[in-house]
Amino acid sequence: MEEIRVRVELSRLAESIEVPVLSDGVVSLRAHRPDDIDRVVEYATDPLTMRWAKMPSPYGRTDAERFITGALRGWDSGASMIWAIECEGRFIGSVDLRGSGRVVDIGFVLHPDARGEGLARRALVLAMDYAATERDVEVVRWEAAEGNLTSLRTAHAAGFTLLAKLPDWLEMNSGVVDAWSAKWHAGDDFAPKSTWRTTTFETERFRLRPLSAADDERIRETLDDPISRKYLFGRPSPLTVEHAAAERTRKWWTAACGQTCTWAVADKENDLYLGDISLFKIDDVTGAEAGFYTHPEARGTGVLRETFPAAVRHSFDVLGLRRLTLFAAASNKGSWALAEAAGMHRFGTQPLAALSAGVMEDLFGYELLRDEA
């Protein structure tokens, strides 16, 4: 009886509620319809949606009917604005703005066959522009579970200002999780507000690419290695794969904020993580500070001897940085050698400014200007 009641209510609402239709010539936003139900079930039961969205499980047609009914009721009550996203005549997802005041929260989900084409960004822009111009919305807030890289990329591309990581902020199917947060203010444009440096390039033997979740165990092995621990103090002990994942997602976030850039150094043949090279404290005036890790299995094989100088050149020639620095403890002769192999020269010493395995020692500074490379 409940299922029949929901279907009757859905049909009635679909005929009586007026939802503004918006379009940019590629995607359109419209009211949800009963014929969207099967596609809602498909995207709601997709593994990526189930990983990052709070959904009933198992999810069936009745759940989709309730969702569409709720979306239409939201328009009727003014509590929310939830549109179906359409492209080339097919339903591809949903975008929602929840709240009735000057501050609203945005969310979206796409069907698997519509991902990777920038369509979610188009839908967000249409929805946000309508909210600001027609509903006097001043601020649109975005939140996503930490690690939801797809949502972060979309928010960044749609012009959100990235704000902060919020500990223990969202309730997901797996429990309470940390969140990333951002905002868009009426009057802002829809261009990215930070420079997200994410590139892939190759040397003779290696590929330098963004970090991925598949690297987590190798990252753990690298950070937990005794030689790494000597110079990377303050790491948890024991260091778990969850700690490694947190290191990876932290670097994703700071890269999106324009503060850092990290490449995993991987074997070209099997894409196995062998270490990573990072740029920190990126600034138009002072340049950036470089650093690196090496997986224990890769030490002594020339991995960084080949890739670090290439990363330095890439930073100047492709990323457009003007200056790089590197700091190494006095006992870390391997890092000295790599800095010098990349053409960097020592410019100073900070006495007793490094803590290595619990011992204070001098810290050497190296630098290289783009014009010198």
83 with 226, same domain: the answer is: no
Residue with tokens 């946000």: 128
- Average pLDDT over all residues of the chain: 93
212 with 308, same domain: the answer is: yes
Rounded Cα distance between 113 and 89, Å, is: 14
Rounded Cα distance between 82 and 70, Å, is: 9
190 is a domain residue: no
At 142, which CATH number? 3.40.630.30
Based on C-alpha coordinates, what's the Rg of the chain?
25
Q: CA 66, 70, 76, 81 torsion: positive or negative?
A: negative
pLDDT at 10: 61
195 is a domain residue: no
pLDDT at 358: 81
Residue 368 · residue 342 · CB < 8 Å: yes
pTM above 0.85, yes or no: yes
Q: CA 324, 330, 335, 337 torsion: positive or negative?
A: positive
Rounded Cα distance between 363 and 370, Å, is: 23
pLDDT at 6: 55
Residue-by-residue DSSP string for 54-109:
---SS--HHHHHHHHHHHHHHHHHTSEEEEEEEETTEEEEEEEEE-SSSEEEEEEE
Residue 320 pLDDT greater than 80, yes or no: yes
How many residues belong to the chain? 373
> Binning pLDDT at 50, 70 and 90, where does residue 327 land?
very high
* Cβ-defined contacts of 68-71 (< 8 Å, 24+): 68/10, 68/14, 68/32, 68/33, 68/34, 68/36, 68/37, 68/40, 69/6, 69/9, 69/10, 69/13, 71/31, 71/32, 71/96
193 is a domain residue: no
Give phi and psi for 17, each to the nearest 5.
Answer: -90, 130
Rounded Cα distance between 344 and 358, Å, is: 28
> Binning pLDDT at 50, 70 and 90, where does residue 83 land?
very high
Q: Which residues contact 163 (CB under 8 A, 6 or more apart)?
A: 181, 182, 183
Rounded Cα distance between 354 and 231, Å, is: 8
Residue 97 · residue 111 · CB < 8 Å: no
192 is a domain residue: no
Rounded Cα distance between 68 and 94, Å, is: 10
Q: Which residues contact 191 (CB under 8 A, 6 or more apart)?
A: 159
318: its two tokens: 């492709």
Domain with 44, as residue range(s), is 2-185
191 is a domain residue: no
11 with 138, same domain: the answer is: yes
Task: State pLDDT tens for residues 265-299.
Answer: 999 999 999 999 999 999 999 999 999 999 999 99
Q: Which range is most confident: 199-203, 224-228, 300-304?
A: 199-203
Q: CA 16, 20, 25, 27 torsion: positive or negative?
A: negative
The count of domains in the chain is 2
Residue 72 · residue 10 · CB < 8 Å: yes
Residue with tokens 């090496």: 294
Q: Is it true that the peptide bond before 47 is cis, omega within 30 degrees of 0?
A: no
Task: State pLDDT tens for residues 113-130.
Answer: 999 999 999 999 999 999
135 with 219, same domain: the answer is: no
222 with 155, same domain: the answer is: no
More confident residue, 161 or 17: 161
160 with 222, same domain: the answer is: no
Nearest Cα neighbor of 291 from 362, 223, 360, 206 is 223
pLDDT at 85: 98
262 with 324, same domain: the answer is: yes
- Out of 132, 161, 185, pick the residue that ends a domain: 185
> Binning pLDDT at 50, 70 and 90, where does residue 172 land?
confident
220 is a domain residue: yes
Task: State pLDDT tens for residues 332-362.
Answer: 999 999 999 999 999 999 999 888 878 899 9
Q: Which residues contact 7 (CB under 8 A, 6 or more apart)?
A: 34, 65
pLDDT at 4: 55
Residue 44 · residue 108 · CB < 8 Å: no
pLDDT at 13: 63
269 is a domain residue: yes
